[in-house]
Amino acid sequence: MVCQEDVPTSEPVECVKVAINPEHPEQTVMIGGNQSIEGKKAICEVLKANLDVFAWKLADMTGVLRTLAEHKLRIKENTAPVRQKKRGQAPERSKFIVEEVQKLVEAGIMREVTYQSWRSNLVLVKKHDGEWRMCVDFTGLNKACPKDCYPLPEIDWKV
Domain ranges of the chain: 2-54, 66-151
Confidence of residue 74 (pLDDT cuts 50, 70, 90): confident
- Report, as an integer, the average pLDDT of 114-128: 87
Confidence of residue 117 (pLDDT cuts 50, 70, 90): confident
- Give the whole-angstrom CA distance, residue 134 versus residue 125: 6
Q: Angle 57-62-67 (CA atoms, 0-180°, nearest 5)?
A: 165
Residue 132 has pLDDT above 60, yes or no: yes
Q: The domain at 66-151 falls in which architecture?
A: Roll (3.10)
Check residue 95 and give its pLDDT.
Answer: 93
